[in-house]
Amino acid sequence: MTQRPHPRRSRLAGRFYGEEILAATLFALCLLLVSAQQLLAHEYKAGDLLIDHPWARATPLGSDMGAGYVAIHNSGTTPDRLISAFAPFTRRVELQEMTMKDGLMRMMPIKGGLEIPAGGTLVLEPSSHHLVFVDLKEQLKEGEMMDATLTFEKAGKVKIQYKIEAIGATAIDKMHHPLGQ
């Protein structure tokens, strides 16, 4: 003859088992939300610098140039300087700015890098300061992540990834702000 568990005990065991499943499910959801937030944030920290959402526009097939954009926030009390960049998908990366001269838009190289002021932000965006990828080795395709390295005077070398956005993406589409601002 098989012995049945006491009905009250089996209900209690089922209740505790259900609570364990609920707790595990809630824990998994919290991990998923934190992971999703980190993926969406797409930020890199280097000392006092927060490098916020590096992005580039997709390029048409056969194009030999592209451009990179990013916001760099400096929470420190001393300025830093973006002095260069490297990306394996291009032969050269240049810091450039767009200027108007005689009614014509011109891209001019920036010598000596760009300052990130203490407590301030340097924004590299279309029609302003930006990184130019010269002599691309491959097409930049929407949705891809492309490795690069930014070099700062004080923070040193920082490995990042550019998220490749649609060809028509604008700076406003990509605007992010660090926590607390």
16 and 73 together in one domain: no
The pLDDT of residue 16: 55
138, with CB counted inside 10 A (0-12, 13-18, 19+), is exposed
58 and 131 together in one domain: yes
The pLDDT of residue 13: 53
Which DSSP string do the residues of 76-136 spell out, in sequence order? SSS-EEEEEEE-TTEEEEEEEEEEEETTEEEEEEPSS-EEE-TT-EEEE-TTSSEEEEEEE
Report the distance separating Cα 109 and Cα 116, nearest Å.
Answer: 18
Write down the mean pLDDT value for the chain: 83
Give me the number of domains the chain comprises: 2
Banded model confidence at residue 127, pLDDT cuts 50, 70, 90: confident
pTM, rounded to two decimals: 0.72
Mean pLDDT, rounded, for 38-43: 64
Domain range holding 48?
A: 44-174
HSE-CB of 61 using CA atoms within 13 angstroms: 0
67 and 132 together in one domain: yes
Q: Do the Cβ atoms of 44 and 160 come closer than 8 Å?
A: yes
DSSP H stretches of helix in 42-129? none
32 and 113 together in one domain: no
8 and 79 together in one domain: no
| 34 pLDDT above the threshold of 50 | no
Banded model confidence at residue 170, pLDDT cuts 50, 70, 90: confident
Report the distance separating Cα 96 and Cα 181, nearest Å.
Answer: 27
Domain CATH number, residue 120:
2.60.40.1890
Give percent of the chain above pLDDT 90: 61
* Residue 179 domain flag: no
51 and 75 together in one domain: yes
21 and 87 together in one domain: no
Top pLDDT among 74 and 34 is at 74
Report the distance separating Cα 161 and Cα 163, nearest Å.
Answer: 6
Give percent of the chain above pLDDT 70: 71
3-state secondary structure of 127: coil
Residues 155-165: tens digit of each pLDDT: 999 999 999 99
Residues 68-125: tens digit of each pLDDT: 999 999 999 999 999 999 999 999 999 998 888 888 888 888 999 999 999 999 999 9
